[in-house]
């Protein structure tokens, strides 16, 4: 599978993995995945349910650690640092690698306390400073205008789309470089989905974004690069335009043309 690199010559790869195998107990979920993810670009993971794309995403902030009986082989580096090395600091890693989940999960606290949660646990307690972070994060996530007059109300009173943008604001508030998004719009109505996609478009120049999506149009709309996973294997990874116009692999073509999945 030698080929010309899809990346421009000056591309900086922020996340690099080499021969990653992943196991849930005795079941192997990922096979020999070697992949370099470029910085300050949007990379989409697509593939049918159970293909391992979410599992692979959750490797980058070590969220799979919370599931007992899981095991990882291979090398995963973020900015050159081996994140699975013994003594590697998970708390510091997760500050740099934020995550937005499929099901929006704001805490049952006020909007302000949701966004301020991260900065607070990392040691910021000055009310003025917190207020600035909260405002900045909410502006970034395009939610500020809708909630600025009710920051002290319970976040669960927001609509589904607003809750998801709040979760993005909450992730941005700790100052990450990388944003992992696990099907962030799959539970939202079309209009809210568009807002999330627009938001990703606005964040793309400042953050390295990796997004798992079921929706191929979405991948085509918002991503620079697309990786297609199938049964735990990385089948194809290329510039999004190439994947959707001239896929190299038969399986990829079958999937994006809707022949299976």
Partner 1 sequence: MSRRRSEQITYFLIRLVMYFIVLVIGYILFDIVRHGLPALNWAFLTEYPRKSGSEGGILPAIVGTLSLLAGTILVALPLGICSAIYLSEYAEQNRFTAMIRLAIITLAGVPSIVYGLFGLGLFVLFLNFGTSILAGSLTLACMVLPTIIVSSEEALRAVPHGYRDASLALGATKWETIRTNVLPYSLSGIITGSILGIGRAAGETAPILLTVAAFYLPRLPNSIFDQVMALPYHLYILATQHPEADKVLPLQYATALVLLLLVLGLSLGAIIIRIHFRKKYRW
Judged by CB under 8 A, which of 41, 53, 94, 140 binds partner 1?
Answer: 94
Residue 179, H or E segment: strand 178-182
CB of 110 vs partner 1, minimal distance in Å? 10
Identity of the residue, 104 or 193, whose beta carbon is nearer to partner 1 in the bound complex: 104
Q: What is the DSSP letter of 239?
A: E
Does the protein bind partner 1 through residue 212 (CB under 8 A)?
Answer: no
Rounded Cα distance, 213 and 245, in Å: 18
> Which residue among 7, 24, 101, 144 contacts partner 1 (CB under 8 A)?
101
Q: Does 205 bind partner 1 (CB under 8 A)?
A: no
Q: How far apart are alpha carbons 88 and 127 in whole angstroms?
A: 31
- Is residue 26 part of the contact set for partner 1 (CB under 8 A)? no
Ordered DSSP codes for 109-156: SBHHHHHHHHHHHTT---HHHHHHHHHHHHHHTT-HHHHTT-TTSBGG
68 near partner 1, rule: CB under 8 A: yes
Is residue 259 within the footprint of partner 1 (CB under 8 A)?
no
Site membership for partner 1, residue 174 (CB under 8 A): yes
**What phi and psi values does residue 25 have, to the nearest 5 degrees?**
60, -120
Angle at 62 between CA 116 and CA 92, to 5 degrees: 50
User: Interface residues with partner 1 (CB under 8 A)?
Assistant: 61, 63, 66, 68, 91-95, 98-99, 101, 103, 105-109, 117-118, 121-122, 154, 156, 167, 170-171, 174
């Amino acid at each position: 599978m030698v080929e010309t690199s899809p990346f421009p010559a000056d591309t900086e790869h922020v996340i690099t993995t080499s021969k990653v195998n992943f196991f849930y107990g005795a079941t192997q979920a990922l096979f020999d995945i070697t992949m370099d993810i470029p910085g300050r670009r949007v990379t989409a993971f697509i593939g049918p349910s159970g293909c391992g794309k979410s599992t692979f995403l959750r490797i980058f902030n070590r969220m799979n650690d919370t599931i007992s009986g899981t095991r990882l082989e291979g090398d995963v580096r973020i900015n050159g640092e081996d994140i699975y090395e013994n003594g590697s600091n998970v708390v510091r890693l997760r500050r740099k690698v934020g995550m937005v989940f499929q099901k929006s999960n704001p805490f049952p606290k006020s909007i302000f306390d949701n966004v301020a949660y991260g900065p607070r646990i990392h040691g910021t307690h000055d009310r003025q400073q917190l207020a600035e972070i909260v405002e900045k994060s909410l502006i970034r996530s395009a939610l500020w205008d809708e909630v600025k007059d009710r920051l002290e109300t319970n976040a669960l009173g927001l609509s589904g789309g607003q809750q998801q943008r709040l979760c993005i604001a909450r992730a941005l508030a700790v100052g990450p470089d990388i944003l992992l998004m696990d099907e962030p719009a799959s539970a939202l109505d079309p209009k809210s989905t568009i807002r999330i996609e627009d938001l990703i478009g606005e964040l793309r120049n400042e953050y390295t974004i990796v997004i798992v999506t079921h929706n191929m149009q979405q991948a085509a709309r918002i991503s620079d690069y697309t990786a297609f996973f199938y049964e735990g294997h990385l089948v194809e990874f290329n510039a999004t335009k190439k994947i959707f116009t001239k896929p190299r692999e038969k399986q990829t073509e079958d999937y994006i043309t809707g022949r299976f999945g």
